[in-house]
Amino acid sequence: MLKNILHLRGVSILNKKEQESIRAGSNICRITIIYQDGGRDSVNVFISGSTGEEISQGANNFCLSEIYNEGVSRCFYDCEYDGFGQ
């Protein structure tokens, strides 16, 4: 999954120090992938965009790419700009 994230325009993986420095209203989305065998991966990624709509669209595009190109069972995202868990 990580190799695919790095190939998407506007997406970058954050290291621990970068993740700790994130403030509310940022462009971070938590992407969760569920594989056909029931396995699961979750990663925080930076999505380029200046509005919540652009950030959500970037996260959605990532999930669509994983489903159609990688054959994952499910993919969902939760973005910080509107508060995780909202």
- Band (11; pLDDT cuts 50, 70, 90): low
The percent of residues in the chain predicted with pLDDT above 70, rounded, is: 73
Distance from C-alpha of 85 to C-alpha of 19, rounded to nearest angstrom: 17
The ranges assigned to domains in the chain are 2-82
Distance from C-alpha of 25 to C-alpha of 22, rounded to nearest angstrom: 9
pTM as predicted: 0.67
Who contacts 29 (Cβ-Cβ below 8 Å, separation ≥6)?
44, 45, 47, 55, 58, 59, 77, 78, 79, 80
Q: What is the mean pLDDT of residues 70-78?
A: 90
